Structure 1
Amino acid sequence: MIELKYVNRRYPTSSALQYKQIVTIPTGEIVGVLGENGSGKTTLLKAIMGIGEFRDGEITIDGKPVRDQYERMAFITEEGSYVPDMSPQKYGRFLAEFYPKFDETHYAELIEAYELPATRRIRTFSKGQKMKLEICAGLAKRADYLIMDEPFVGKDVFSRRDSLKRMIDGLTGEETVLLTTHLIDEIENVIDRAIILHKGIIRTDFYIDDMRAQGLSLADIMQEAREAKFYSPIRWPSSN
């Protein structure tokens, strides 16, 4: 379980995150963290990974500080955590030394499925190839917590669907997944829950099943969040 308690993280000129509540994400949920550019999505994921300092508040994983849970977490980000001078093959061996649960066989299968050159230096890869490698490494860690920051950016629609399918097929159901994306139409049938941010504040937090029961879509709620003048929880329309 991931728990955020009254988190307040500030930059010198602005408040990047300001959660005046307790947010709990139970084990096994797939959560979409959504919002416009600059809304605080990446800042939130980095905070959960223990990157950066808080002014106030606390984030815990299963009741423990994040720094005590790193081996159970995988951070998949466009910025990349790979070693540029290594090949994917050497990088896999490198990761296996640091992550006890790293699945080298699954990693090799993903490298082949994504048609990545296993023996070429990563520094020579295109942006898209580097992102695919990051996904391969993250999924192969067999982590309990997958934190994914725009994992499908830059891919065409077919590559995005392929990546989504591989991600879902590779899960056991015990993992907790948080992902940021602008591709709301493509993830609506994948995520269990959505957290929408606006200017560093949680605008609304809801389950997809509840949304569908009200005849709404993610696009509808994103639009309402953009148009709202005040940061109050969205009230679902009456079902009567």
Structure 2
Amino acid sequence: MLELKQLYKPFGKGAAAALSIGSLTIPTGEIVGVLGLNGAGKTSLLKAIVGLGELQEGEVSWRGRPVQEQYGEVAYITEEGSFPPHMNASEYADFLADFYPKFNRERYERLMKFFELDEYVRMGKMSRGQRARMEICAGFSKGAKLILMDEPFLGKDVFARRDFLKLMVTSLQEDETFLITTHLVDEIEHVIDRALIIHQGAIRADVYMEQLQEGGKRLESLLAEVVGHDGERYRRFLSGPSD
């Protein structure tokens, strides 16, 4: 399982915390959505898990050992991309195979075909959406058991997103764990097992989707409630100043 204990990361001297997590445990095999407004701390949480960005306090462990000692077990997929722009996809596969002993080239090539990517186009010449797909191909092929995805749907059209979600769910193995940050609440609602809602650097809600659905509640409603969103605000604005 993934365990986080007493994580604390400040924005800066005298500023509010960018991240403050008392305790969090995620069992192996779960798909967890990490939701919240822009700047809530979603990306900071994923970076803290993989050891990017300095934590002032806290511990992160995967299967009882520090994550930093198990980089071969972790894949961090981000829209920014982590690949050398001068390489094409075939050269990148060679590069990954040197660093990840469990790299599965067959899976990588199948994903390339699924996303209709040309293995001989240099990645620096690819569109934003193509680079995002490349990140997924690489991340899903490293042989990692802990997969973190930061806004994996950016740069994808609605059909590509749906295909990716189906692919993710059907390809999930029992010993793989996913954490996904996204703003697309409606699309992720029926895919994830559990939702974490982060607001102002802290986890304000932690709920399993089965429990939420049994209570007759939608994930978007819970998110709005946690962040204090006023759905009628625009109506008051349009109606003009009150007397």
TM-score normalized by the length of structure 1:
0.92
- TM-superposed CA distance for 1:169, in Å, is 2.1
Equivalence for 1:23: 24
Equivalence for 1:191: 192
Q: Is the 8 A contact 1:139 1:170 kept in 2?
A: no
Equivalence for 2:223: 222
Please identify runs of 4+ aligned residues in structure 1 that moved more than 3 A.
none
Equivalence for 2:124: 123
Q: CA–CA distance in 2 between the matches of 1:154 and 1:133?
A: 12
For the residue of structure 2 that corresponds to 1:5, the secondary structure is strand
Q: CA–CA distance in 1 between the matches of 2:108 and 2:23?
A: 36
Q: Which has the larger radius of gyration?
A: 2
Equivalence for 2:85: 84
- TM-superposed CA distance for 1:129, in Å, is 0.4
Amino acid at match of 1:168: V
Q: CA–CA distance in 2 between the matches of 1:194 and 1:103?
A: 30
Give per-residue Cα distances to partners, 1:113-151, cap 9 Å, x unaligned: 111111111100000000000000001112110000000
Give per-residue Cα distances to partners, 1:7-62, cap 9 Å, x unaligned: 1111214410012x211001111100000000000000000001122112211111
- Residues 51-60 or 216-225, more deviating: 51-60
Q: Is 1:10 matched up with 2:17?
A: no
Q: CA–CA distance in 2 between the matches of 1:173 and 1:224?
A: 33
Q: Is the 8 A contact 1:73 1:145 kept in 2?
A: yes
Amino acid at match of 2:168: M
Equivalence for 2:240: none
Q: CA–CA distance in 2 between the matches of 1:110 and 1:65?
A: 30
Amino acid at match of 1:223: A
Any residues of structure 2 matched to 1:141-160 within 5 Å, and which? 141-160=142-161
Equivalence for 1:133: 134
For the residue of structure 1 that corresponds to 2:140, the secondary structure is helix
Q: Is the 8 A contact 2:72 2:143 kept in 1?
A: no
Q: CA–CA distance in 2 between the matches of 1:94 and 1:166?
A: 25
Equivalence for 2:171: 170
Q: CA–CA distance in 2 between the matches of 1:63 and 1:55?
A: 21
* Aligned length in residues: 227
- TM-superposed CA distance for 1:168, in Å, is 1.8
Q: CA–CA distance in 1 between the matches of 2:199 and 2:177?
A: 23
Give per-residue Cα distances to partners, 1:87-135, cap 9 Å, x unaligned: 0011011101111111101101111111111111110000000000000
Unpaired stretches in structure 1, ≥5 consecutive residues:
229-240
Q: CA RMSD in A?
A: 1.1
What fraction of aligned residue pairs are identical, expressed as a percent?
50
Q: CA–CA distance in 2 between the matches of 1:143 and 1:173?
A: 13
Amino acid at match of 1:15: A
Q: CA–CA distance in 2 between the matches of 1:146 and 1:194?
A: 16
Q: CA–CA distance in 1 between the matches of 2:164 and 2:122?
A: 22
Equivalence for 2:233: none
Q: CA–CA distance in 2 between the matches of 1:154 and 1:121?
A: 18
